[in-house]
C-alpha cells in the first residue's frame, strides 16, 4: 500500500519589525488556501514565522523582547490559522518564539494534525550566533541571548500515515539532528529557517549560503533515507537579506520542488512515503551495517 502525501512548503517573505501577528497569520492563511486548492495534506511554515527575525536586535533587558514571544499555542492571534487549517483538513508545522509560564524562552516549532490539534513540540537544540552585543557584525544574531537550548530532544511522531520529525534552521547543519530522528524511524523531517545572506561570523562568499542550505538538507535526506522539507522566511527584513530556496528533497537526495522567489510562495510535491523504505532496507539498513562500537566519540565529546 503506497502512502501518498501532498506536502507544501509555505515560504514567507519578509515580516517587518512592527508587522502585526494578524498580518503574518493572514498571509499564512492565504498560503493555506492555496495549499488546499492544490490538495495538500500537510504544510511546513518557517521558523519564527509570526514575527520579524528579532534576534537581529540587541536589547539589554530581554523582557523588552517579550512582544515577539507566544505564551500559548494556539493563542488568540494564531487560532484563526489553526481553524483555517482544520477546516481544510490540513496538518502543519509552525515555528515561533515560546515563552513558558515559568519564564523559559525557546525557539520552538509545533506539529499540528489535520483536526487542528497540537500533536508534537520541538525546541531548537543548536542555537547559532552569540549572546552579547558584537559591534563588528553588520547584524546581530543573538539566538544564544534570547533562547535556551531545547530540552525536548529530537522527537518523531506518527502522523499522515508516516513518521515525522522536526528541526529548526541551524539544526539542519548538524548530521546528528537527522540521524537521531532517522534512528527513531523518521521518514519525513521538516524544518523552517531564517538564514541571512551574509555570514556575520566570518567572510563567506554569499553563493555558499544557498549551496550549504541545500547541501545540508539534500545530503542528510540521502544519508538518512528520508524526505526533508525546508521552508524559508525570506527577503529583506529591516535591511537584512534572508535567503529563500525553500525546498522539498526526496530520499535520493534530489530536490523535487524549489521556491523561485524571496516572497510568500507555496511549493508542493505529491510524495510516496514508501520511497523512504528502500534506503532504510538496503544501503542504510542501520541494524545490518552500522558499527556503533566505533562511534562513541560522537556523543561523548
Q: Which is nearer to ligand ING, 32 or 127 (CB)?
A: 127
The set of cell numbers assigned to 67 is 512582544
Catalytic: 169? yes
Least distance to ligand ING from the beta carbon of 240, Å? 11
Kindly write down the DSSP assignment for every residue of 205-251, as one continuous string.
Answer: -THHHHHHHHHHHHHHHHHTTSEEEEEEB-EEETTEEE----EEE-T
> Nearest distance from residue 47's CB to ligand ING, in Å?
6
What residues make contact with ligand ING under the rule CB under 6 A? 128, 169-170, 173, 193-196, 199
Task: Tally Cβ neighbours within 10 Å of residue 112.
Answer: 24
CA 256 to chain centre: 18
Cβ 150 to ligand ING, closest distance in Å? Answer: 13
From the list 70, 98, 143, 169, the catalytic residue is 169
Do 9 and 248 contact (CB within 8 A), yes or no?
yes
Nearer to ligand ING, 84 or 237 (CB): 237
DSSP 8-class letter at 148:
P
150 C-beta neighbours (distance < 10 Å), count:
22
Q: Is 226 a catalytic residue?
A: no
47 among known catalytic residues: yes
Q: Going by DSSP bridges, is the β-strand pair 118-123/156-159 parallel, antiparallel, or unpaired?
A: unpaired
Q: What's the min distance (Å) between Cβ of 277 and ligand ING?
A: 30
Query: Which of 145/160 has CB closer to ligand ING?
Result: 145
Residue among 35 and 247 whose Cβ is closer to ligand ING: 247
Report residue 177: phi and psi, to 5°: -55, -50
Of 70, 84, 124, 226, the active-site residue reads: 124
- Residue 276 C-alpha cell reads as 523512504
Active site residues: 47, 124, 169
Amino acid at each position: 500500500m503506497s502512502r501518498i502525501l501532498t506536502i507544501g512548503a509555505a515560504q514567507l517573505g519578509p515580516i517587518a519589525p512592527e508587522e502585526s501577528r494578524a498580518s503574518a497569520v493572514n498571509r499564512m492563511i492565504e498560503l493555506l488556501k492555496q495549499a488546499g486548492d492544490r490538495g495538500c495534506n500537510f504544510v511546513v511554515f518557517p521558523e519564527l514565522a509570526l514575527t520579524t527575525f528579532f534576534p537581529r536586535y540587541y536589547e539589554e533587558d530581554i523582557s523588552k523582547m517579550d512582544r515577539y514571544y507566544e505564551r500559548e499555542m494556539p493563542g488568540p492571534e494564531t487560532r484563526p490559522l489553526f481553524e483555517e487549517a482544520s477546516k481544510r483538513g490540513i496538518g502543519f508545522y509552525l515555528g515561533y518564539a515560546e515563552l513558558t509560564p515559568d519564564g523559559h524562552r525557546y525557539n520552538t516549532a509545533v506539529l499540528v494534525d489535520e483536526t487542528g490539534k497540537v500533536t508534537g513540540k520541538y525546541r531548537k537544540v543548536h542555537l547559532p550566533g552569540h549572546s552579547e552585543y558584537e559591534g563588528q557584525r553588520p547584524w546581530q544574531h543573538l539566538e544564544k541571548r534570547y533562547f535556551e537550548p531545547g530540552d525536548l530532544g529530537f522527537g518523531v511522531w506518527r502522523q499522515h500515515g508516516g513518521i515525522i520529525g522536526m528541526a529548526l534552521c541551524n539544526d539542519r547543519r548538524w548530521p546528528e539532528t537527522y540521524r537521531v530522528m532517522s534512528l527513531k524511524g523518521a521518514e519525513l523531517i521538516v524544518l523552517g529557517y531564517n538564514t541571512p545572506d551574509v555570514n556575520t561570523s566570518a567572510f563567506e562568499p554569499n553563493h555558499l549560503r544557498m549551496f550549504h542550505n541545500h547541501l545540508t538538507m539534500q545530503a542528510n535526506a540521502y544519508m538518512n533515507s528520508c524526505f526533508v522539507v525546508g521552508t524559508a522566511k525570506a527577503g529583506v527584513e529591516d535591511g537584512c537579506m534572508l535567503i529563500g530556496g525553500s525546498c522539498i528533497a526526496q530520499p535520493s537526495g534530489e530536490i523535487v520542488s524549489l521556491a523561485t522567489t524571496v516572497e510568500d510562495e507555496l511549493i508542493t510535491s505529491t510524495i510516496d512515503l514508501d520511497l523512504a523504505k528502500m534506503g532504510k532496507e538496503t544501503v542504510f539498513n542501520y541494524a545490518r551495517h552500522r558499527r556503533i562500537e566505533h562511534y562513541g566519540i560522537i556523543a561523548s565529546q
